[in-house]
Amino acid sequence: MRSGRLCGSLGRNVIAEDRDAKMDPFAYHRPESLADACERLGREGARILAGGTDLIPQLREARRRATHIVDVKLLPGCAAIAAGDDGGLVIGAAVPASVVARHPEILARYPALAAAAGMIGSLQVQNRATLGGNICNAAPSADAVPPLLVFDAQVTVSGRSGERRMPLEDVFAGPGRTNLEPGEVLTTIHLPPQAARSASHYLRFTPRREMDIAVVGVAARVACGADGLVSEARIALASVAPTPIRARGAEAALIGRGLDEGAIAEAARAAMAEARPISDTRASAEYRRALVEVLARRALAHCRDRLDEAFAGRAE
């Protein structure tokens, strides 16, 4: 029987068949090399354990089953935050959300991601939940994913046949499903460097202030040229489609324009039009669409204010 998790939601309802289910016995592995990890993950019934804040309730309620649990927290690079070769940032998949939320460089350069990491579950959950887990659990409501999408994040995936790097957007196959192959593990998340004149923000709506799941989440990032016009825009949405999505129409509506009320309103309406939410116990589709418009507008207004501050700072 489902009791819900804090890190993400697959939107599944309680189903009676779950009631009598049990957690299968499993073998626990804590590999220290990627090769070892991939070998173990290739076994039948193997599942990755990172923070466990989604996996443990899923196993307990038999929403997922596992005979091998492979703990990836000791894998090289998985637990560190490091500078990227391109001037960006590389975040290990097993870095806890609380570390992301407090990291000075993420706060300064990728504030939308820091904000989102600080919203996942409670502080207790943030101390366990990882960025990689938030991605690979593939919940439509994953808070960290929209910010990562607006930063054009890429991920490195390791498997028995080696490494591959892919855009984050390509990871998601559907609710609870990724495009990772059996035996593959997501090890690092790459954030490219940010343009000088750019701002980002993440907003979500929940009925409670804490310990809740995004009814809707909206991340926005805007970069402006020297003329003050929008040169690059990203908007990504949570909880309004089978996977977190980019709102490309809304992004296009901003390009080449000043970030004024009219442009913001138009982009927000476009984002609403791109949302294709479902109705469930947390909200109706109609309410979710309404919230997309509101949150997109507010997130973009926040970006505009940050950019205005930056301009003002330079003028002094």
Nearest distance from residue 53's CB to another protein, in Å? 5
Q: Which is nearer to another protein, 55 or 189 (CB)?
A: 55
DSSP state letter for 252: H
Q: How far apart are CA 256 and CA 247, in angstroms?
A: 17
Q: What is the CA radius of gyration of the chain?
A: 19
- The interface region with another protein, picked from 56-64, 135-143, 194-202, 307-315 by CB under 8 A, is 56-64
Q: Which is nearer to another protein, 59 or 185 (CB)?
A: 59
SS3 77: coil
- What's the burial of 33, exposed, middle or buried (CB within 10 Å: 0-12/13-18/19+)? exposed
Q: Residue 32 in contact with residue 239, Cβ under 8 Å?
A: no
The type of residue at 16 is: A
Q: Which is nearer to another protein, 53 or 154 (CB)?
A: 53
21 contacts another protein (rule: CB under 8 A): yes
Listed residue (221, 157, 219) closest to 190, CA to CA:
157
209 contacts another protein (rule: CB under 8 A): yes
Question: What string marks each residue from 121 to 160 as x (binds another protein by CB under 8 A) or -?
Answer: xxxxx-xx--------------------------------
DSSP state letter for 19: G
Q: How many residues bind another protein (CB under 8 A)?
A: 56
- The interface region with another protein, picked from 55-63, 80-88, 147-155, 236-244 by CB under 8 A, is 55-63
Q: How far apart are CA 21 and CA 75, in angstroms?
A: 32
Site for another protein, residues 289 to 308, rule: CB under 8 A: 290-291, 294
Q: How far apart are CA 172 and CA 136, in angstroms?
A: 8
Listed residue (150, 78, 136, 144) closest to 114, CA to CA:
144
225 contacts another protein (rule: CB under 8 A): no
SS3 70: strand
Which position among 78, 250, 254, 283 is part of the footprint of another protein (CB under 8 A)?
283
Q: Which is nearer to another protein, 198 or 239 (CB)?
A: 239
17 contacts another protein (rule: CB under 8 A): yes
Nearest distance from residue 299's CB to another protein, in Å? 13
Q: How far apart are CA 272 and CA 268, in angstroms?
A: 6
The residues binding another protein (CB under 8 A) are 1-6, 13-17, 19-23, 25-28, 49, 51-53, 56-57, 59-60, 69, 71, 73, 98, 121-125, 127-128, 205, 207-213, 280-284, 287, 290-291, 294
